[in-house]
């Protein structure tokens, strides 16, 4: 499902026009991105959590060149679904 499809579904369900719904969806995504970028997890009860995961330094191999490259430690954004979300999917 694309962002446009999400906007269409929300607009249809709420009766709000698509342009306004698009602004709300984009504002929500921007808020989540800014919070996670600042190290603050975002918890949405019944849906899941947007968090930062820390990756340690590791050695990776380039098989073609037969070389080893050191990948420095870094943080990556992650989504952890809630138990309710997971149980609905199963």
Q: What is the pLDDT of residues 14-32, one digit of tens each?
A: 999 999 999 999 999 999 9
Walk me through the domains of the chain, giving residue ranges and CATH numbers.
3-89 (4.10.520.10)
Q: Is 51 exposed, middle or buried (0-12, 13-18, 19+ CB in 10 A)?
A: middle
> Structure pTM?
0.79
Q: Average pLDDT of 57-66?
A: 90
Q: In the prediction, which pLDDT does 90 show?
A: 86
* Rounded-to-integer distance, Cα 30 and Cα 11, Å: 19
Residue among 83, 73, 79 nearest 41 (CA): 79
Q: Is 79 exposed, middle or buried (0-12, 13-18, 19+ CB in 10 A)?
A: middle
- Per-chain mean pLDDT for the chain: 94
Do the Cβ atoms of 66 and 42 come closer than 8 Å?
Answer: no
């Amino acid at each position: 499902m694309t962002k446009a499809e999400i906007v269409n579904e929300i607009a249809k369900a709420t009766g709000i026009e698509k342009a306004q719904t698009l602004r709300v969806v984009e504002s929500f995504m921007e808020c989540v991105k800014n919070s996670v970028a600042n190290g603050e997890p975002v918890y949405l009860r019944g849906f899941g959590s947007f968090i930062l995961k820390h990756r340690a330094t590791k050695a990776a191999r380039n098989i073609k060149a037969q070389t080893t490259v050191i990948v420095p430690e870094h943080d990556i954004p992650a989504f952890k679904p809630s138990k309710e979300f997971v149980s609905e999917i199963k």
